[in-house]
Structure 1
Amino acid sequence: MLDLDSVRLFVLATEFGSLTRAAEAAGTVQPVVSQRLKALEAMLGHKLLERTPRFVRPTAAGSAFLERARALLAAHDAALRLGDAPPLRFALAASDHALGLALEPLFRRLRAALPPGAGITLRTGLSQEMRARFEAGECDAAVIRREAGGSEGEVLGHDPLGWRGGEGVGLAPGEPVPLATLGPACGVRGAATRALDRAGLPWRESFIGGSCAALLAGAEAGLGIAPMGRIAAGAAPDRGPALALPPLPASEIVLFARTGTPALAAAVRALAAGIRASLG
């Protein structure tokens, strides 16, 4: 008989691309995950995962087993819901500059960790606004980008800032650097303009967008150069060195969360592990 906990760990390892992050999401440790997965492979008679120091990915047999594993877990979890308990609702507030284009892989990882039927509510905006939503009790967790330091919350890692622009972007000598930003209240904008001021480079705001997706689209269309983090920009290349722009500091990605129930604690673990996996 298949061990369902081992099957769940296999799905998590596949989605997170890491035994360490799968262990974090499951609330256990990496050696336990490795042992359980080896036992699962022995029972099935197939190698399910290719493991290297840098990544974990399914083999051909693992890919074939993955959808069956998801269906098995969904059926099991549905069978346990015999009462009238409402499904989990997880409310998340996230700074757009903290996650940006990393939302799709993060949602896939959350989906693998949350019980079937769970719902997710997402609000995005500037870091100050998202922190305020959390403090007001409007969400279960908030993820922000912190430029100026602080001791509150859990630091999940550091994300380097860079200058994002379209292929072949250039700067005319003596002309102000055209910036694409989220507007004057944005901390990333502040970090970028301070760096330009220290370097003695004039700048102007050429494009203001409402999201990181809009910033990247504007930058790639030649409307301006967007200071953005690596994960928020979807790993778009940093044009700063080629344009002789000053280096930008890395920022902290910080989690604030409430874990009053086991279900919420599991959701927060998966959220933290998913963001750490994106940060690398």
Structure 2
Amino acid sequence: MNNDHKPARPIFDLDMLRTMVMVADCGSFTTAATRLHSTQSTVSQKVRRLEELVGHQLLDRSSREIHPTDAGIILLGYARHLLAVSNQLGEALSSGMSVTIRLGVPDDFAASNTMPVLAAFNRKHPKVKLEIISGLSADLLRSYDRGELDLILIKQRRHSREANACRSETMEWIDSATRPCFEQDPIPLVTFPSRGLYRDDMISALEALGRTWRICFTGTSLASIQEAVANGFGISLLPTRAVTSDHKVLGINDGLSPITAFEIAVFHRPTTDPVVEELADVLIQIVDEEGQ
């Protein structure tokens, strides 16, 4: 009988693997700690323990942004697979459990056909607790980065940040249908706050025309912007889906070129629950249908 003993194979802890994946995806221990609702020291300790367990350095910490080593790349492939299988197993065994999805969407989607589709998704998954927050895209993205949202649908400048899925955003210049004010000088503008999208592009386009302008109305909600334009407070720039019969669309004949600088983006984490991925696919389908 051979009494030689082979070294025990390491048993991988899913929590350590999840931490490693999050650090690699974020490129930062600090950001990963925020998303994991943990501390930077705890995250660093878990990665070090994993490195000791496998006997290899898994992350290159020599630059400002952290990158996986060759061994880390190999481990990450298997780690993602194991975490996905774990999520699938949890889903299969959670017939009596509920899943909470915190979803962030901009106002113009919250006010469109999105809500009936999300309600239908909720009926299909009665054990899913869907918490929906609407607001400015910049605010939703910050909440997502802090780990406060699981899935977001936002508007951003094209290619400004890599997302799970992106679609181009169709924009329209709009004036009041009954009280147009485009010919006024200076031209009055209806805008979102300075941290919102579209504002700088509106100003740049008008200045390129040689037009003077003034901001007449600033609103934080889509409804306030729509109403202000409809009642003749000024012109604005909104997604096509937000244009109503109370608005007049301005275009090339008015000297205004189309704005193509924006896109709709969907974000969720790589290690997310399968039902979150399913909801993300639903959001992408909504965007595709509204863009047709």
TM over 0.5: yes
Per-residue CA distance 1:100-141 (angstroms, 9 max, x = gap)? 632xx1121223234125332222332222111111111111
CA drift of 1:158 comes to 1.5
Shift in Å at residue 237 of structure 1? 5.2
1:215 aligns with 2:225: yes
> Given the alignment of the two structures, is residue 268 of structure 1 paired with residue 280 of structure 2, yes or no?
yes
User: Match of 2:68?
Assistant: none
Given the superposition, is the C-alpha separation of residues 130 and 89 from structure 1 closer, same or farther in structure 2, using an over 3 Å criterion?
same
What amino acid does structure 1 have at the position aligned with 2:291?
Answer: L
Q: Kindly tell me: are residues 202 and 82 of structure 1, through their superposed partners in 2, closer, same or farther at Cα, counting changes over 3 Å?
A: closer
> Aligned match of 2:216 in 206, 217, 221?
206
What does residue 227 of structure 1 align with?
A: 237
Which of the two has higher C-alpha Rg?
A: 2
The equivalent position to 2:102 in structure 1, one of 91, 107, 111, is 91
Alignment check: 8 A CA contact 1:156 1:252 kept = yes
- Please give the TM-score of this superposition, normalised by the length of structure 1: 0.62
The match for 2:22 is: none
Asked if the contact 1:165–1:216 (Cα under 8 Å) also holds between the matched residues in 2, the reply is no
In 1, the alpha carbon distance for the partners of 2:182 and 2:272 equals 55
Cα distance in 2 for partners of 1:186, 1:245 equals: 24
Deviates more, 1:140-149 or 1:199-208: 140-149
Amino acid at match of 1:269: D
**Per-residue CA distance 1:32-51 (angstroms, 9 max, x = gap):** xxxxxxxxxxxxxxxxxxxx
Aligned partner of 1:123 in structure 2 is 133
| TM-superposed deviation, 1:245 | 4.5
User: How far is 1:249 from its partner?
Assistant: 1.1
- CA gap of 1:277–1:236, structure 2 versus 1, over 3 A, is farther
For 1:244, the aligned partner's letter is D
Contact 1:182 / 1:189 at 8 angstroms: preserved in 2?
yes
Contact 1:179 1:207 in 2 (8 A): yes
For 1:187, what is the secondary structure of its paired residue? coil
Pairwise CA distance, 1:155: 4.1
For the structure 1 residues 179 and 173, does the alpha-carbon distance in structure 2 shift closer, same or farther, using more than 3 Å as the test? Answer: closer
Q: State the match for 2:192 in structure 1.
A: 182
**Is the contact made by 2:189 and 2:214 (CA closer than 8 Å) also made in structure 1?**
yes
Q: 1:113 aligns with which of 109, 121, 130?
A: 121
1:190, distance to aligned residue in structure 2 (A) = 1.1
Shift of 1:235: 8.1
What percentage of residue pairs aligned between the two structures are identical?
20
The alignment of Structure 1 onto Structure 2 pairs a total of residues equal to 197
Unaligned runs of 5+ in 2: 1-91
Distance 2:186 2:119 in 1: 45
Q: Using a 3 Å threshold, how does the CA distance of structure 1 residues 189 and 91 change in structure 2: closer, same or farther? A: same
Q: Tell me which stretches of 4 or more aligned residues in structure 1 moved more than 4 Å.
A: 80-83, 234-238
User: How far, CA to CA, are the matches of 1:137 and 1:265 in structure 2?
Assistant: 17
1:252 to 232, 252, 263: 263
Q: Which runs of 5+ in 1 are unaligned?
A: 1-79
**Distance of 2:100 and 2:172 partners within structure 1:** 35
SS of 1:215's equivalent?
Answer: helix
Residue deviations 1:33-77 (CA, integer Å, cap 9, x gap)? xxxxxxxxxxxxxxxxxxxxxxxxxxxxxxxxxxxxxxxxxxxxx
Whether the 8 Å contact between 1:100 and 1:213 is mirrored in structure 2 is: no
Take 2:160 and 2:230, find their aligned partners in 1: how far apart are those partners?
Answer: 33
- Alpha-carbon offset, residue 205 of structure 1: 0.7
Residues 106 and 135 in structure 2, CA contact (< 8 A), matched pair in contact too: yes
Rounded to whole Å, the distance in 2 between the matches of 1:82 and 1:134 is 26
What residue identity is the alignment partner of 1:228?
L
How far 1:236 sits from its partner (Å)?
6.9
Q: CA deviation at 1:172?
A: 6.8
Counterpart Cα distance in 2 of 1:238 and 1:229: 14
Q: 1:82 to 1:154 in 2, by over 3 A?
A: closer
